[in-house]
């Protein structure tokens, strides 16, 4: 009997999802990270602007700056991004999607309004933003805050 596991092998050059947090995905879907935002972090394109927003929030939670930069529109992308977290930096604790417009497979643009909850040494806080997403080379990317 072979000890080799059956199943599909990743295609050459494919990214694998970084290990995520145990339990449900940080994006609030209730699905395990590896079956949710971890797929996007591993290279599967987000199907909608909202899915990209959720995966980007999860990237902040797990400290995946590379994913955030890869999914940022080149016209507005910073040269580098530090999300590793510091003792006084935020610990992201929850995401609320407030509204979405456009952003489906049939759109070239979409918006997502959200609240991201966090805690710091100073206590809890909320970041509220209305974000613009565009298709760039066929993929959803974050463009800017409105």
Tokens of 7: 């199943």
Strand, helix or coil at 35? helix
Alpha-helical (H) ranges within the chain are: 37-41, 49-62, 65-70
Q: How many CB atoms lie within 10 A of CB 55?
A: 26
pLDDT of amino acid 6: 40
| pLDDT, block means (10 residues), the chain with 146 residues | 41 50 88 94 96 97 94 96 73 96 97 97 96 98 98
pLDDT of amino acid 89: 77
8 A C-beta contact, residue 47 and residue 39: no
DSSP character for 34? Answer: G
Q: Which of 98, 97, 117, 40 shows the shortest CA–CA distance to 71? A: 40
Tokens of 51: 């899915």
* CATH 3.90.180.10 holds for 33-145: no
Strand, helix or coil at 126? strand
């Amino acid at each position: 009997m072979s000890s080799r596991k059956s199943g599909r092998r990743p295609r050459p050059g494919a990214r694998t999802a970084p290990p995520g947090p145990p339990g449900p995905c940080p994006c609030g879907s209730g699905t395990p990270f590896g079956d949710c935002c971890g797929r996007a972090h591993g290279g599967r394109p987000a199907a909608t602007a909202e899915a990209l927003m959720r995966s980007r929030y999860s990237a902040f939670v797990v400290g995946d700056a590379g994913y955030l930069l890869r999914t940022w529109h080149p016209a507005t992308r910073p040269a580098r991004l530090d999300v590793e977290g510091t003792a006084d930096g935020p610990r992201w604790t929850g995401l609320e999607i407030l509204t979405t417009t456009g952003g489906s497979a049939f759109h070239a643009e979409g918006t997502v309004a959200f609240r991201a909850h966090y805690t710091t040494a100073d206590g809890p806080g909320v970041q509220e933003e209305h974000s613009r997403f565009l298709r760039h080379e066929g993929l959803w990317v974050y463009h800017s805050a409105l």
